[in-house]
Amino acid sequence: MSDFVEFRGGQGLDTQLMQVGDDVCGFRPFPHKKRFTVMCTNTAVRLVSSGQYDNQIEFGYEPMLDLEPPINQPVSLVCPMNLQAGDQ
């Protein structure tokens, strides 16, 4: 089993039903800055560990203020939006 971090997104809170947008693995002695754009109602960061290493992750997030992805940032994951009958 390898150690890695998953960035998931979905409509509900069950991480098993969420889609994987991206994952990161490997040793990095210095901070590694990588941006992910996840356009989903809910987002999860999941650390999978074999227990053989002293794993840690630090992350930050910015909420999206509108439904448009950032111009200079590729989108890692887009979830279908649940539209109410009155929203169409």
> What is the structure's pLDDT at 47?
92
Q: Tens of pLDDT along 17-75?
A: 998 988 888 777 777 777 778 888 889 999 999 999 888 888 888 877 776 666 766 77
Say how many C-beta atoms besides its own lie within 10 A of residue 39's C-beta: 17
Q: Round to the nearest angstrom and report the end-to-end CA distance of the chain.
A: 45
pLDDT higher than threshold 50 for residue 88: no
> What is the structure's pLDDT at 50?
92
Angle (nearest 5°) at CA 74 between 58 and 11? 70
pTM exceeds 0.75, yes or no: no
pLDDT higher than threshold 60 for residue 84: no
Taking alpha carbons only, the member of 84, 81, 62 closest to residue 73 is 62
Q: Say which residues have a Cβ less than 8 Å from residue 40's Cβ, sequence separation at least 6.
A: 9, 10, 11, 18, 19, 77, 78, 79
